[in-house]
Structure formats: structure tokens, C-alpha cells
Chain A
Amino acid sequence: METSEKLPQDFGAFHRQQLGIGLWFKSGDPWIWLTATAVGACIVAVLGLLGLIAVKGLSHFWPSDVVTINYANDFGEFRIAGEIVQRESIGRNQYLEAGSNSTAIETDQVERWMIKSGNRRINAPDFRWVYKHEIVQQLKATDMLVFERSEWGNAYGTLVGIKEHGQSIEPDNPWIELQKRIDRVTDLRDEARRIQKGAINRINYKLEKLRLEKRKRELKGELDFTDIEIERDRLNAEYLVEEQRLRDIITQLERDEIEIRIADGRISTIALRNIIRAWLPNEMSFWQKLGHYFSSIWIFLSQESREANTEGGVFPALFGTVLMVLLMSVLVTPFGVIAALYLREYAKQGPFVQLIRIAVNNLAGVPSIVYGVFGLGFFIYLVGGSLDDLFFQAAQPAPTFGTPGLMWASLTLALLTVPVVIVSTEEGLTRIPSELREGSLALGATKAETMFKIILPMASPSILTGVILAIARAAGEVAPLMLVGVVKLAPTLPIDGNFPFLHLDRKFMHLGFHIYDLGFQSPNVDAARPLVFATAFLLVLIIVALNLTAITLRNRLEARYREALL
């Protein structure tokens, strides 16, 4: 070993020359920490957001206990009953500025509770703040009932009596009797709804069609409308029958009333037809509450909204969102795929095609409201207006397609998302090995046959990736929709039993807009707040569900073609 004596010197070259912070920076460790922290912060932000809306939204449906509170202040003694929805501390200054007596309290912080006392129209307001230090007595009465009313929100009180045709009845068990009678009005209400939404809606739809038919023939110069008049008379007669049935049901609905005693001791009469559900929160076991909780969620998902959207469910908005997104996907997929095929397979690659490609990419960055304005100007006024002039003259001056509606909203969002589909389809097309194209062509396939049999199936995972991104973007979009078809309250769903079943000209409701409406346009902010969270949570779930469906589909296809793409 000739070099053995040199060894100690050589080893010196590997020893750490510097120590401390300089070395630490050089080692790259801070970089690892920085990147990991960034990822951590993102995860915390996303989970925090989801957690917040989930907790705030989902807790709304839990049947909380109803507390009866006696409190006293300078204005007198009060007694209210309701659910505690929020507890918070405010600073002394804020407390004093609210006009309170400075001598009552000496601490810096004042705790106050927000009580949902309901009974709107009987004992306003329905949400009120109570200072904790003013509370004299607080108890949970076991016979305290909560009534979900079809109008004016919840009512809280104890049951005093049940009246039938204005006469008091004395049942052995008033609670069971009440439930029985609520079931009865629920059935009657459902029946009335069926008549309204079913038969009467159908007859009205047919009458409108007849009116348009008559108008159309008038425009043609025809004078004889006997057949139309016969049909109209027949429909009107049918209508009268249905209307009478409806009247009978309404009369039956009017039969019962209940009397309740509210917290301040007054007796109030409520027509039973206005009561949707009644429950005894302070007496319910955990499992009963859980059952009630899930039925509340089901009502939220499956029913229409009431009270300017602050009560009831979100079904029409849910339905509208999903339908609009599906229609959008159906429109955007062929459009984007065909455009990408031309750009990648047929167009001669050069600066011009490259320019188009850049333009398409940039389209994805245009603010969505611009698409909304474009949709309104181009689709609705120009295309829709022309369609009306050409095919729907009879209905004019009322517009048919020349007004915001489902089709235009879907088309506008399809336009908004088409760049995403084009880009990812193109990426998929470039990934397909040229050997496969050549293999197909060498067997005598034409370019078109190769495209349909080999290239498109193999590009399908990428196409679906594009659709996934498009769905993610479109489902959360609100701004353009406000201009091209979404409304606060749509009287009918875009799909019903009247031919042609899917009514593309109708306006529709949307969860995103529903959130905006609840949060910022609502007459009763306190009542609407939990629904904002619940609706937001639902919207997130819908987007996740739509995406997961598409992702599952894509992964299946990808597994099939993976080896060929390597």
C-alpha cells in the first residue's frame, strides 16, 4: 500500500469544513422544511374550510334542546323559550354602546347567547340575544314542543288544546292525537300537491299549447278554430273538476287547529294545516334525535324551499345543478374532442395552429362573468331571439328561447370549459404512439377509421380527465349563470311529465346561486345562516361526487390502455 501514508490527509477533505447555520442552509434541509410546511398549510386550509362548513351546516339539523329562560334587565322581566344557537363574548365597550346599563356589569367581557325563539308573527323577533348575567332562571321543560311550520318558521310552546271544526276535543293522550292529526294533514297536503303539480299543471300546459296553436293558425290567416275551442272547453271542464277536488282537500285541511302556550304565557292558535312536523326535543332519547336528524337532512335534500328559501329544502337547486352540469358535459365533450382532433390530427402544424392553441389556452383564463355577458348577448338575444322569430312566433311578444334558460346556461358553461377539454384531449392524442396509427393504416384503415377505432378509444382517459376538470370548474360557477338562466325560485323543475319532458327553455335553480341568495339576499339572516353552510357543504359534496364518478370511469379506461401508452 503505497498511498497509505497519504490517507489521513485525504480524509481531511471529507470532513465538514464549516459548521452552524451556513452548513444547515447548504445541506438543503431548510428547503425540505419549507416545502413540507407549504403542503401542510394547504392541507390545513382545505380541511379547515371543509370542517367549518360541514360542522356549521350539519349541526343545523340536530334537534337541540329547548331551554326556557327567565331574564331581567332595566326594561323589565322576560321569559322566552328557544334553542341556544350561539354563545359569544363581547367587549365591555360594545356592551355599553348597545345602550346597556354600565352598573350592571364590571367585567371586561360580557357573555351573550343567541336564542332562536321562533314564534315569528306571534312574539317577534325570532332570534334574540340574551346576556348571561341577566338570566334569572333557566330550565328545560319536558312538555316543550317544537313545531315546524310551513310559514313563519318554527314555533315553540306547550300544547294546550286541539280543536276540530272549532270545537275542543279531549283526547286521552294529546301528544299521540296530535301526531295522528299531523299525519292526516301531511297526507292531505301531499294529495293537494299532487293535484297541483300533476293534473292542474298538465292541464295548464295543454291549455298554453292550445293558445299557441290557435295563435299560430291566426298568423297563417285561418279563421276556423272550432276544433281548438272544443278541446279547450274539454280541458276547462277537466280543470274545474280538478279544482273542485283541490277545494275539497283544502276544506278538509282547515278542519283542525291547535292552541299552544308560548313562553310568555300567551295562548296562540295555529291552524294544523300549517304544521309540518312537531317534536318534543327535551324528551327525546339520543337515538330518537338521531332519527329526527336524518329525517331533517332528508327533508333538506328532497323538498322545495319555502319562505324565500330560508326554510325547507334545496331539492330544485340540487336538481338544477346536477342537470345543468350533466347537460354541460354532454355539450362540451364532443365539441372539445372534435376541436382537439382537428388541431392535432388534421391541421397542418405550424405557427398558425400554434397561435390558435395559445388562444385556446388563454380562453381558460377569461373571467367567467365575461362568458356570462357573452352568453346573454350572443346565445340569448341573438341566437335565442332568432329562434323565437323563426319557430316560436305564436308565443311572441313573450320570448321562448330569447330569455335566460337551462340550455343557454349549459351552453355558456360549455363554452367556458371547452378549452380545458381541448387541452387535455390534445395531450392524450400526443401520447398515443405513432406505431399504433401506422399499424392501423398499414392494415388498410383510412385515417378516419384509425381515429374512431384506435385513437379515440385510447384517448378516452384523457378526454375524461378534461371532462373532470370541466365539471369541477362548471359546478362551482355562479357569476355567469346569474345572467343566463339561474333564478332565485323556479316554479317548475326543468324535467316534468309533460312532453318533451326536458324543458331546455325553463329557468332553473342552482346551489351556488342558492348560497348567494341565502347569504346575501335573505330577509332573515339568522334563519338563513346555517342553511348557507349546509348548502355550501352539499355543493362541495355534489362536485366531489360528480368528479369521483368521472375519475373512476377514467381510471378503468386508463388501466385498459396503460401498457399500450408506455
Chain B
Amino acid sequence: MNENERSTDASARVKLDSTLVGSRESVSPNQLPESETCLHVQDLSLYYGDKIALKDISMRIPRKRVTALIGPSGCGKSTLIRCFNRMNDLIDSVNIEGRIELNGLEIHDKEVDVSQLRRRVGMVFQRPNPFPKTIYENVAYGLRLSEKLPKSELDDRVEWGLKSAALWDEVQDRLNDSALGLSGGQQQRLVIARAVAVKPSVLLLDEPASALDPISTLKIEELIAQLKADYTIVIVTHNMQQAARVSDYTGFLYLGEMIEFDSTVTIFTNPTEQKTEDYITGRYG
């Protein structure tokens, strides 16, 4: 990532570095074979009471890639990403139609244990939300829920989680301090460590950097680039530069509809739909 790209004016069209584009995927995700699909969304519609929030969304989210969801505020990005770990179950008035398959298994199936599903599909929220516990206990929280690990293994997993989130060097000497004493960026990486520690296969990031300063944002983005080797990552962002920087595939949502879903390169350089073009070039949003 070069300096040029990061300092792009929001209103100006995002120009992708041609060398960078060349190194990324350019295959349309909807032509992916089943074996490379991690999440397969089919005709997903979501209603809040009578109001429709997501309309007939179909997409294949590829395994071990970063998929970004962009779109103006209120377009349904967060609602969609919260479908993938069934966080919308918590809202009484929500009705969902259609299918979401995780590695070929329908997640709304009656047999599915929601807790197990959420262990497979980790999530990081917009505002850093560490628990009011020690740094160690935050990372160990998910582990204690699912696995009965002996103390030494638990220590190893906590260390591993913190290292995965590039936080270990900063906190190794104060694991027993309160997590609330960390800076916002550190807190967000702690939350990522917490999610990674339970070894999920998918990581959902719901605007993970929007509450952070530029330096912390950069660190989170670097972290995403590292994590995609092992995890399927879905990131919601309304920062187009960020989507362009970190993602392999991008979906553009508008008023609850998936307008276009393609490789990031295609979306940002050669979108099919006029709406996408307009949004990318900053005509609305």
C-alpha cells in the first residue's frame, strides 16, 4: 500500500495501483466452485416486522479471502453480516427467508446449535467492546466457554491469540491488568484476539476501524492482511479506500439489495452497474 493511495480524497475516484490490482483475484466470486465457497447465501430476505431490510441477496463468499461489504448508511451491510452468525436472532421482530450455508450446512437448520455456530463464525464490532476483566481473561473467555483446557494449554492459546492479533508484544507484561486500560486500537485488536483464540473459520468485522485513529486503523488493516491466510474474512466498511486496500472481493449494497458483487478490482475499476459507479465516484452515499 503506498502513501498515494491512503491519502486519496474521499470525493475523488479511487485509483488502484495497477501492480496491486494485478496481484489480486479478478475472478467473479459467483463463478467459484462449491469447494472454494465458505458462505453461500441464497435468496436471503430479511424483514424487521413488515419492513424489508434485505431483498433476495445471493452471494458466494470465498474461503480464506477478504470480502468487503460497502454501501451508504442504512443499506443493510451490518444487517447482512449479522445474519452470518445469527446475531439477528436477538431481535424479536426479525424474520428471515432464504438460505445461508456455511461450508455446505444450512445455518438456520433446527439442528444447529447457535452457540456452536458463533464459535465457528467470530465477530468484531464497531466499538471496541472488551469485557471489564483482565487482558488474559478477555482472551480466555471464549476458550473457557467451549473447551476445558488445562492451565498451561490455556496460557498457550491466549498467547497464540494475542500473537495472531499482533498484540502480544504490547501486553505480555501486563496480562493481568484490566483490558479497559488499553488504548482504543489495542482494545480492538484484543477483541480480534478474543475472537481468533477460539479458532473460528470465519471472522466477521463490522466496521472494525471506524472508531479508531488512523494509526490504529492501519494496524488493523495490516492485521486483516495477515489473518486472511487462515480465515475467511467478511468486513463491513463505509470507507471505500479501506475496502479497496484490504479486500479481495467487494459487494455493493444499496437499499437492501446487492447491486453488484465482484472482485474488488472489478468493482473499483470496471463496475458493471451504474449505481456502483456512482457510489464509488462519490456521487452519493
Nearest B residue to A435 via CB reads: B129
Residues of A within 8 A of B198 (CB): 443-444
In this assembly, does A247 line the interface, its C-beta being within 8 Å of a C-beta of chain B?
Answer: no
Residues of A within 8 A of B87 (CB): 438, 441-442
In this assembly, does B118 line the interface, its C-beta being within 8 Å of a C-beta of chain A?
Answer: yes
CA distance A442 to B198 in the complex (A): 11
CA distance A4 to B1 in the complex (A): 59
In this assembly, does B146 line the interface, its C-beta being within 8 Å of a C-beta of chain A?
Answer: yes
> Smallest CB–CB gap between A516 and chain B, Å?
46
Contact of B119 among A443, A449, A457 (CB under 8 A): A443
In this assembly, does A348 line the interface, its C-beta being within 8 Å of a C-beta of chain B?
Answer: yes
Report yes or no: A444 in contact with B145, Cβ–Cβ below 8 A.
yes
In this assembly, does B141 line the interface, its C-beta being within 8 Å of a C-beta of chain A?
Answer: yes
In this assembly, does B62 line the interface, its C-beta being within 8 Å of a C-beta of chain A?
Answer: no
In this assembly, does A445 line the interface, its C-beta being within 8 Å of a C-beta of chain B?
Answer: yes
Report yes or no: A453 in contact with B132, Cβ–Cβ below 8 A.
no
Stretch at the interface among B3-11, B100-108, B120-128, B235-243: B120-128
> Smallest CB–CB gap between A118 and chain B, Å?
63
In this assembly, does B92 line the interface, its C-beta being within 8 Å of a C-beta of chain A?
Answer: yes
Report yes or no: B180 in contact with A564, Cβ–Cβ below 8 A.
yes
Report yes or no: A444 in contact with B92, Cβ–Cβ below 8 A.
no
**B190-219 vs A, Cβ < 8 Å mask (1 yes, 0 no):** 010011001000000000000000000000
> Smallest CB–CB gap between A560 and chain B, Å?
6
Contact of B129 among A433, A444, A445, A560 (CB under 8 A): A433
Contact of A438 among B125, B142, B145, B195 (CB under 8 A): B125
In this assembly, does B247 line the interface, its C-beta being within 8 Å of a C-beta of chain A?
Answer: no
Report yes or no: B92 in contact with A563, Cβ–Cβ below 8 A.
no
CA distance A519 to B260 in the complex (A): 86
Given contacts A443-B194, A443-B198, contact A561 B125 (CB under 8 A): no
Given contacts A441-B90, A443-B141, contact A563 B180 (CB under 8 A): yes
Residues of A within 8 A of B119 (CB): 443-444
Report yes or no: B123 in contact with A442, Cβ–Cβ below 8 A.
yes
Report yes or no: B115 in contact with A446, Cβ–Cβ below 8 A.
yes
Residues of B within 8 A of A443 (CB): 118-119, 122, 141-142, 145, 194-195, 198
In this assembly, does A440 line the interface, its C-beta being within 8 Å of a C-beta of chain B?
Answer: yes
In this assembly, does A439 line the interface, its C-beta being within 8 Å of a C-beta of chain B?
Answer: yes
Residues of B within 8 A of A442 (CB): 85, 87, 118, 122-123, 125, 195
Report yes or no: A348 in contact with B92, Cβ–Cβ below 8 A.
yes
Residues of B within 8 A of A445 (CB): 115, 141-142, 145
- Output the residue of A442, A446, A458 with the most chain B CB within 10 A: A442
In this assembly, does B226 line the interface, its C-beta being within 8 Å of a C-beta of chain A?
Answer: no
Of residues 75 to 126 in B, which have CB atoms within 8 Å of A's CB atoms?
85, 87, 90, 92, 115-116, 118-119, 122-123, 125
In this assembly, does A454 line the interface, its C-beta being within 8 Å of a C-beta of chain B?
Answer: yes
Of residues 122 to 171 in B, which have CB atoms within 8 Å of A's CB atoms?
122-123, 125, 127, 129-132, 141-142, 145-146
Report yes or no: A444 in contact with B146, Cβ–Cβ below 8 A.
yes
CA distance A564 to B130 in the complex (A): 8
In this assembly, does A525 line the interface, its C-beta being within 8 Å of a C-beta of chain B?
Answer: no
CA distance A433 to B142 in the complex (A): 19
Nearest B residue to A458 via CB reads: B132
CA distance A563 to B145 in the complex (A): 25
> Smallest CB–CB gap between A423 and chain B, Å?
23
CA distance A454 to B146 in the complex (A): 16
Residues of A within 8 A of B191 (CB): 439
In this assembly, does A436 line the interface, its C-beta being within 8 Å of a C-beta of chain B?
Answer: yes
Residues of B within 8 A of A453 (CB): 141
CA distance A449 to B195 in the complex (A): 17
CA distance A436 to B179 in the complex (A): 13
CA distance A445 to B127 in the complex (A): 19
Residues of A within 8 A of B180 (CB): 563-564
Residues of A within 8 A of B145 (CB): 443-445, 449
Residues of A within 8 A of B118 (CB): 441-444
CA distance A436 to B123 in the complex (A): 12
> Smallest CB–CB gap between A449 and chain B, Å?
6
Residues of B within 8 A of A440 (CB): 131, 141
CA distance A458 to B141 in the complex (A): 15
CA distance A439 to B118 in the complex (A): 11
Of residues 94 to 139 in A, which have CB atoms within 8 Å of B's CB atoms?
none
Of residues 388 to 442 in A, which have CB atoms within 8 Å of B's CB atoms?
433, 435-436, 438-442
Residues of A within 8 A of B142 (CB): 443-445
Residues of B within 8 A of A563 (CB): 132, 178, 180
Residues of A within 8 A of B131 (CB): 436, 439-440, 454, 564
> Smallest CB–CB gap between B107 and chain A, Å?
14
Report yes or no: B132 in contact with A561, Cβ–Cβ below 8 A.
yes
CA distance A453 to B141 in the complex (A): 9
Residues of B within 8 A of A457 (CB): 132
> Smallest CB–CB gap between B255 and chain A, Å?
25
> Smallest CB–CB gap between A397 and chain B, Å?
56
Nearest A residue to B125 via CB reads: A435
CA distance A336 to B156 in the complex (A): 41
Given contacts A445-B145, A458-B132, contact A435 B127 (CB under 8 A): yes
Nearest first, the 8 A-B pairs at minimum CB distance are: A444-B119, A443-B142, A564-B132, A435-B129, A442-B123, A563-B180, A439-B129, A444-B118
Between A and B, 22 residue pairs with Cβ closer than 8 Å are A433-B129, A435-B127, A438-B125, A438-B129, A439-B191, A440-B131, A441-B87, A443-B195, A444-B115, A444-B116, A444-B118, A444-B119, A444-B142, A444-B145, A444-B146, A444-B198, A445-B145, A446-B115, A457-B132, A560-B132, A561-B132, A564-B131
